[in-house]
Amino acid sequence: MAESMKIALAQINPTVGDIDGNLDLIRAAREEAVGLGAELVIFGEMCVSGYPAEDLSLSPMFLDRVRAGVEALAVETADGGPGLIVGGPALGGAAGGEGHLRHQVQNTAFLLDAGEVKAQRGKRDLPNYGVFDEKRIFKAGDLLGPVNFRGVRLGLMVCEDMWTPEVAECMQESGAELLVVINGSPYESDKVDVRLQVAVTRVVETGLPLIYVNQIGGQDELVFDGASFVLAADCSLTSQLPAFRTDLALSVWQRDAGGGWLPQQGVCVPPLQRWHAIYEALVLGLRDYVDKNRFPGVILGLSGGIDSALSAAVAVDSLGPERVHCVMMPSPYTSRESLEDAAEASRLLGVRFDEVSIEPAMEAFATMLAPLFAGTATDVTEENIQARARGLTLMAISNKRGAMVLSTGNKSEMSVGYATLYGDMCGGFNVLKDVYKTTVFELARWRNQTRPPGCLGPAGRVVPERTISKPPSAELRPDQVDEDSLPPYDVLDRILEHLIERDDGVDEIVTLGYERNLVNRIWRLLELAEYKRRQAAPGIKITRRDLSRDRRYPITNAFKGPL
């Protein structure tokens, strides 16, 4: 019976579909773990295939490549070095008719050692809420006991298996000595504490220590934040890896007098403060979206306002100033202050900055449409033409130069439809899509005071002070400010949080002190804008409930709600 064990927690950044690249990351981490004397290296959920692979997991060719990759890793463990726990999709049921693999594939954890696949466990508890559709794709794993690794019985679980008591209880009753959870758990603000409390609950229920390994990296709209950890049987935190960073940490274990496993105290990196964590999520999410999709850089409209200024700062921190191109596109309604603020923001960030007037385009459209618009008053139509002229300009530069257009609208605007289809909504990605306007201001203030480690932008101020202090405005007509048509953002955002994140009804929100007519109006705007949001660029999820995969409402919808 083993009396000691050295286990490495490997927090890596895999890419969905890049099986060869993911195998290289696993091999590199194993090689590093050899130098630390590790006997076992634990990786995140579906690290061989990348996660979430969605319907790729139903492709026979993809499954064959994943299986070959897992088997190749298994063969390499015959060298006498550390064993591996890795994850990927694998067939877990009988073959189906007509080649359909739905509900025959399992989200699987593999134990590799001594040249073989020693054991595998399918994910039992398949999440089917929010961004997850695993019941649509996977077959649930059976309730099985622990796996044996060099004389240690490991209760091997996959992500959601930790969030309910059933699997951990089965492992404990079947003789597990240590719970091991491999994860692909996406970032949400304040989720680190929730995860830790769930893990503590499983430890209390089973009396077993627990290792939690999470991946990092951006995958479309999701960001995985790592923050892997180790809990002793007394619920003490003995290791905590950093958030949003690849890392490998060694956890050293000894049997105690009672035969249980006790981890030695390791390094515990403190969790990030709220604004720091959100900002890091935006930086990592944008960097991985651009780099994993092989864009040379990004281009965005820099208006002199707070949203585009913060988007530019995140882009520079993600990619470096040489990969960010900012364009100011003034109209006759653009203020001198906005021109100055846009130029100042570009100077602070050190990016290429160009100015392209849209006035000739406005005049051309006015001439083109004059016969059709004769006898009508100027209204939002002309305002939308300005936004679309800007979108057309950015898309043209993108087509010519290859950089991806970064749209800059925030969650408050997207919620109530304060955005123009094919105008300011043009873009391949939106870094602020799940960021409320009030959070935009907080992040700008925070970034002006703090340069996060690993960011590629300059230290010090990156958003001009006047950009933060002046009233927000789309500047599509004379003297326009956002509060002409929207309530103050601190009020709007609180109401939206109740409607979106908490799914509260109008009556519940009114009891909190908000005016009924205002809540009704915001509810209607939220529902009416669904058709716009369906056509919006993807963007980074940071809240409990974003406006794409988390919240799915029909576009054709005759339910009017509050009267």
* Segment (H or E) for 339: helix 336-349
Q: Strand, helix or coil at 168?
A: helix
> In the prediction, which pLDDT does 98 show?
38
All residues at 6 or more sequence positions from 148 whose CB lies less than 8 Å from its CB, including other chains:
118, 119, 154
Q: Strand 4-11 vs strand 222-225: parallel, antiparallel, or unpaired?
A: unpaired
Is the domain spanning 4-259 CATH 3.40.50.920? The answer is no
Question: Is the peptide bond prior to 330 cis by the omega test (within 30 degrees of 0)?
Answer: no
Answer whether 444's CB lies under 8 Å from 431's CB.
no
> In the prediction, which pLDDT does 204 show?
97
User: For helices 437-449 and 489-500, what crossing angle results, to 10°?
Assistant: 110
Catalytic residue among 118, 123, 292, 433: 123
Domain ranges of the chain: 4-259, 276-483
513: phi > 0 → left, psi -120 to 50 → alpha, else beta; which?
Answer: left
CB-based burial of residue 357 (10 Å sphere; 0-12 exposed, 13-18 middle, 19+ buried)?
middle
pTM: 0.93
> Residue type at 498?
H
Is residue 45 flagged as an active site residue? yes
Q: Write the pLDDT tens digit of every residue in 239-281.
A: 999 999 999 999 999 998 888 899 999 999 999 999 999 999 9
- Structural class in CATH, domain 276-483: alpha beta
Catalytic residue among 45, 134, 221, 527: 45
Give, in order, the Cα–Cα distances in Å from 299 to each of 191, 315, 434. Answer: 32, 9, 20
Give, in order, the Cα–Cα distances in Å from 394 to each of 18, 330, 336, 419, 540. Answer: 31, 13, 22, 16, 21
Catalytic residue among 39, 134, 139, 159: 159
Q: What angle do CA 212, 135, 527 make, to 5 degrees?
A: 100
Answer whether 80's CB lies under 8 Å from 69's CB.
no
> In the prediction, which pLDDT does 96 show?
42
> In the prediction, which pLDDT does 480 show?
65
Q: What stretches in the chain show pLDDT beneath 70? A: 1, 93-100, 473-477, 479-480, 482-484, 561-563
Which pair of tokens denotes residue 269?
């990196």
> Residue type at 315?
A
